């Protein structure tokens, strides 16, 4: 009995009271870990993270097995690798710090402002595409999701402005310097214009599809982006997601598709059907013309 009491006294001395500051400490660490995970998911750093993990495992294993030479080498790689990572990911780190500086504490934990801006961007895009379709002005817009398009942005002109219908019509005007490339939208804001996209490698695409459509499909094959296209020849509106292309969309259909792909949880499931692109491909036979195929 005395042994049990002694053990309880020892445990009592080891356990410290849980305070509000402990809770704040846990929340801050959870937020940092969450941001790191989201950073890895939204960029192409997954392979880098795996490489770092393998190096750490090799360092621990070599130390446990007393492989002195290997352990020394792994230690130097890890030591100087930290500096190399800071240099390698300097643009991403700077952008993250800038976003932290522009947002208040409430916006750090919620994305309400970004969602409102994205909602407005969809409305403005549909308005611009309606006009561009009537005038048969070619357009190509990429709505970025989890996979970031930094390489594509570097090929064009970097911007930072809200999506506006008049601005889009000016960008895609056929005598404007940026009209040939793609506009890239991130979080409801234009981050690049005149950007080059990778062409689709699908050899089964219709020969009627031009370079703008092939680039849009290619971007959707390589990333999870949603790509909206206006044909310069016919004025037809199309959307590409996951390498699949839905053509001849009405402006109302374009808006509903963009909202379901980019803001799925905002859709009222009782009044509106699910409008994911896969469902559109199954149910969109009435919108196809002259037996055209979707890809």
Collapse the DSSP code of 67 into the 3-class scheme (helix H, G, I; strand E, B; otherwise coil) and give the result: coil
- In the predicted structure, residue 269 carries a pLDDT above the cut 50: no
What pLDDT score does 144 carry? Answer: 93
Whether residue 255 contacts residue 245, with contact meaning beta carbons closer than 8 Å, is answered with no
Nearest residue to 226 (alpha-carbon basis) of 257, 272, 190: 257
- In the predicted structure, residue 180 carries a pLDDT above the cut 50: yes
pLDDT per residue as tens digits for the range 238-253: 999 998 999 999 999 9
Length of the chain: 295
Q: pLDDT grade, residue 134 (50/70/90)?
A: very high
pTM of the model: 0.57
Question: What are the structure tokens assigned to 195, written together?
Answer: 């950007």
> Residue 132 and residue 125: Cα distance in Å, rounded?
10
Surface-to-core class of residue 19, CB atoms within 10 Å of its CB (0-12 exposed, 13-18 middle, 19+ buried): exposed
> Residue 43 and residue 145: Cα distance in Å, rounded?
10
Whether residue 251 contacts residue 126, with contact meaning beta carbons closer than 8 Å, is answered with yes
Half-sphere exposure of 74 (CA within 13 A, CB side): 19
- In the predicted structure, residue 113 carries a pLDDT above the cut 70: no
Q: Sheet harboring 139-143: ordered strands across?
A: 157-162, 189-195, 182-186, 139-143, 226-230, 237-241, 244-246
pLDDT per residue as tens digits for the range 141-159: 999 988 888 889 999 999 9
- In the predicted structure, residue 259 carries a pLDDT above the cut 80: yes
Q: What's the Cα-to-Cα distance from 184 to each of 72, 115, 221, rounded to whole Å?
A: 46, 17, 16
Q: What's the Cα-to-Cα distance from 243 to each of 67, 96, 225, rounded to whole Å?
A: 49, 30, 10
Mean pLDDT of the region 32-42: 69
Contacts of 69 (CB under 8 A, 6+ apart): none
What pLDDT score does 283 carry? Answer: 40
Q: What's the Cα-to-Cα distance from 61 to each of 52, 76, 143, 178, 275, rounded to whole Å?
A: 14, 15, 44, 54, 51
Whether residue 236 contacts residue 133, with contact meaning beta carbons closer than 8 Å, is answered with yes
Domains by residue range for the chain, with CATH = 17-101 (no CATH), 112-287 (3.40.1700.10)
Q: pLDDT grade, residue 267 (50/70/90)?
A: very low
Q: pLDDT grade, residue 46 (50/70/90)?
A: low
Half-sphere exposure of 131 (CA within 13 A, CB side): 14
User: 58-82 as b/e, with b when 16 or more CB fall inside 10 Å?
Assistant: bbeebeeeeeeeebeebeeeeeeee
């Amino acid at each position: 009995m005395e042994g049990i009491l002694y053990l309880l006294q020892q445990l009592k001395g080891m356990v410290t009271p849980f305070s509000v500051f402990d809770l704040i400490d846990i929340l801050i660490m959870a937020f940092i870990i969450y941001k790191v995970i989201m950073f890895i998911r939204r960029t192409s750093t997954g392979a880098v993270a795996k490489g770092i993990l393998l190096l750490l495992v090799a360092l621990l294993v070599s130390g446990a097995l007393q492989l002195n030479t290997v352990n020394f080498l792994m230690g130097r790689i890890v030591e100087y690798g930290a500096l190399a990572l800071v240099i390698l990911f300097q643009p991403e780190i700077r952008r993250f710090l800038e976003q932290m500086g522009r947002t208040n504490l409430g916006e750090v934990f919620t994305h309400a402002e970004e969602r409102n801006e994205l909602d407005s961007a969809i409305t403005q895009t549909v308005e611009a595409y309606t006009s561009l379709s009537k005038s048969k002005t070619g357009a190509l817009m990429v709505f970025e999701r989890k996979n970031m398009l930094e390489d594509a942005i570097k090929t064009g002109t970097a911007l930072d402005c809200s999506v506006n219908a008049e601005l889009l019509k000016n960008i895609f005007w056929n005598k404007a310097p940026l009209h040939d490339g793609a506009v890239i939208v991130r979080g409801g804001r234009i981050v690049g214009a005149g950007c080059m996209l990778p062409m689709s490698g699908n050899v089964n695409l219709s020969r009627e599809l031009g370079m703008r459509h092939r680039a849009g499909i290619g971007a959707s094959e390589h990333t999870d982006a949603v790509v909206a296209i206006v044909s310069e020849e016919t004025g037809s509106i199309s959307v590409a997601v996951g390498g699949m292309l839905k053509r001849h969309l009405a402006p109302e259909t374009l808006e509903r598709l963009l909202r379901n792909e980019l803001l799925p949880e905002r859709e009222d499931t009782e009044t509106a059907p699910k409008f994911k692109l896969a469902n559109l491909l199954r149910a969109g036979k009435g919108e196809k013309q002259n037996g055209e195929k979707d890809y």
